[in-house]
Structure 1
Amino acid sequence: MDHSKRPAIDPAIAPEQGVTKDGQPLSYNRAPAPDLAPWIARLYVTKVSAPAGYTLSCGLFSDAAFVRIQLAGDWTAETATGHETFGRAALFFGPQTKRMPVTVTGSFISVGMGMRPGACTALRGPRLGDFLDRLVPTTAVAMPSDKILSMLPPDATPEDWLHTLEDLVRKRIEHMDGAMPDPIAARFEDITFRDPGMSVGEAAQLCEVERRKLERVANRDFGMAPKQVLRRARALDMASHLRGVADSAEGEEMALRYYDESHLIHEFTALFGMSPRQFVKSPQPILTLSLESRQARRLEALHRIAPGEARPWE
């Protein structure tokens, strides 16, 4: 399986945080403060300059639920409940089961926070299964949108914004007396990073629970069945490799999780809406930003790199 061709880039945009060795856009993304690690998966700030009136058509595919605050840009998204349009907004995105088509017109700024599996359950937030492939104003999940927007002044630094989001979660954790996510969800998440090619039965054994128990926890804390979670993780890793935002030393291993080329093409097309070859040939800046952030989190979770350490693709 030769997928070594250089991925296409969009020359019209200029990410403020720079680009990878392959010219792919980067965001500023980092691990949460250590005291928030059981609940928060990742935090990011993306600032991208684009010509006025220029519309970027791309997609988003995240395995975590995200609070995303769009501070600039005119956005659209094709969701499970239809076509959505929004400008400045604080939004809750449920996990995605497949690539969500999005567009943004003009320069844009996005600030976000991904939640770990089980965090929404522990903090009595939204039921993830009700929000798959959907987005709603954060007001709908008990986080007033106007208040969040007012707490993120446009002239603040990226770290100011991220500290504000972290403080919001701290207050919620305190209010819930420090309720922790289910450790089974954390173990299964580790498996999705370490070896998403394994069977659900093997995963249940590693989690030290019966298969039915793992299925209940996955449906509750990931919003979908464990088999789907593993399938999505395989595809996200492969997509990261194709976009040049994964550890290149893992490329062959990621490809070998598929039986053969036709299996890869079938699975990839079902989740991304295009073949791997088409995926490499078309610019995917927003999706690449999301994939890069996930891979950084994955390598940190597997203790392959330390938080803040340079990533293999930089």
Structure 2
Amino acid sequence: MNHNKRPAFDPTIAPEQGLTKDGQPLSYNRAPAPDLAPWIARLYVTKVAAPDGYTLSCGLFNDTACVRIQLAGAWTAETATGHEEFGQAALFFGPQSKRMPVTVTGSFISVGVSLRPGACTALRGPKLSDFIDRLIPTTAVAMPSDKVLSMLPPDGMPEDWLQTLESLIRRRVEHMEGALPDPVAARFEEITFSDPGMSVSEAAQLCGVERRKLERVANRDFGMSPKQVMRRARALDMASHLRGVADSDEGEEMALRYYDESHLIHEFTALFGMSPRQFVKAPQPILTLALESRQARRLEALKRIAPGAARPWE
């Protein structure tokens, strides 16, 4: 299979933040303010113009818990607890173990903050293993949805929205007296970015703990086993490469994390619900936006690019 085939895009929609070299949509996403870096993974704003009544069928696949505020668009999601429909809403999404099918009708605006592994534990938020592949109103996690929505006027400026979200998290951090995530979770997260092909035993060794301790920390702070976390990280990197929102110099290395082509197809299909070939052929604008944001964060975390610097795919 040619992994370098140009990925399909949807010409019907117009992202306000522009497109990659391959015509894939971009969001406005950035690293958090330095004082919030232990808790916040990334912040993003997506504004997309679409014809009235046009329904975009896509998916989401995030490796972290997220607070997402949908300011425009009529959304649906297929979650672990069933079909969900919402318009303007402030929602808490648990991490995803596989692609979550979503649709949105009409133009849409989504603003969000993704939380680093261990942040929910440190800030006494939800128990992540209870929210894998689920979403709930933020009211259930001590952020009243109505209040959050009232702080983010739909006609506001993207950077103002993100600073408002940062101030909400900052208040929670202060309330919890700056309780930090477990350093084992932070180290394991780094490993999932740098080498998700390694064994769990090797990862535990690099984290300076026994395998059983790493398994306990991963189940608590990632919501799933270390093996599942690594498998998901490999697939998300490969998906980013296939969508043209990864550093193309890493493409071969990402493919070599799989034993062979059939291993890649099997793993990819299990997590994305389609083969790599189908994934390249179908427009995936919402999923591509999430993948691009994750890759930007990954390259910054690995010190490959400076925060805010141009990304290889732009």
Superposed pair shares fold, TM > 0.5:
yes
* Alpha-carbon distance in structure 2 between the residues aligned to 1:6 and 1:173: 43
List aligned pairs for 1:192-231, cutoff 5 A.
Answer: 192-231=192-231
For 1:34, the aligned partner's letter is P
Percent identity reads: 86
Matched, 1:38 2:38: yes
Cα offset, 1:154, TM superposition: 1.6
Matches within 5 A, 1:1-314: 2-314=2-314
What is the letter of the counterpart of residue 43 of structure 1?
Answer: L
1:13-59, Cα deviation, whole Å (9 max, x unpaired): 00000000000000000000000000000000000000000000000
**Tell me, what secondary structure is at the counterpart of 1:114?**
strand
1:93-136 superposed Cα distances (whole Å, 9 cap, x missing partner): 00000000000000000000000000000000000000000000
Range that drifts further, 220-229 or 151-160: 151-160
Amino acid at match of 2:211: R
Partner-residue secondary structure (3-state), 2:291: helix
TM-score normalized by the length of structure 2: 1.00
Secondary structure at the counterpart of residue 96 of structure 1: coil
Q: Distance in 2 between matches of 1:60 and 1:168?
A: 24
Q: Deviations over 1:202-236 (max 9, x none)?
A: 00000000000000000000000000000000000
Structure 2 counterpart SS, 1:283: coil
Per-residue deviation, residues 217-272 of structure 1 (Å, max 9, x unmatched): 00000000000000000000000000000000000000000000000000000000
SS at match of 1:38: coil
Cα separation, 2, equivalents of 1:203 and 1:313:
29
Structure 1 residue 156: deviation in Å? 1.4
Question: How far 1:2 moved relative to its partner?
Answer: 2.4
SS at match of 1:174: helix
- What letter is aligned with 1:62? N
Partner AA of 1:56 in structure 2: L
CA distance in structure 1 between the partners assigned to 2:240 and 2:274 by the alignment: 15
SS at match of 2:190: helix
Amino acid aligned to 1:294 = R
Superposed CA deviations along residues 162-215 of structure 1, whole A, max 9, x for unmatched, are 000000011001100100000000000000000000000000000000000000
The separation in 2 between residues aligned to 1:301 and 1:110, in whole angstroms, is: 24
Larger mean CA deviation between 137-146 and 251-260 belongs to 137-146
Measured in 1, the distance between the counterparts of 2:152 and 2:2 equals 44
Does the 8 A contact of 2:72 with 2:154 survive in 1? no
Partner amino acid for 1:230?
A: M
Post-superposition shift, 1:153? 1.1
TM-score where L is the length of structure 1: 1.00
Partner amino acid, structure 2, of 1:115: L
Task: Point out where structure 1 has 5 or more consecutive residues left out of the alignment.
Answer: none
Indicate the SS of the match to 2:254.
helix
Root mean square deviation, CA, Å? 0.4
- Report the Cα distance in structure 1 between the residues aligned to 2:112 and 2:119, rounded to whole angstroms: 16
State the one-letter code of the partner of 1:172. R
C-alpha separation between the residues in 2 aligned to 1:234 and 1:154?
Answer: 36
Secondary structure of 1:228's aligned partner: helix
CA distance in 2, matches of 1:283, 1:273: 14
One-letter amino acid of the counterpart of residue 179, structure 1? A
Q: How far apart, in 2, do the equivalents of 1:17 and 1:51 lie?
A: 17
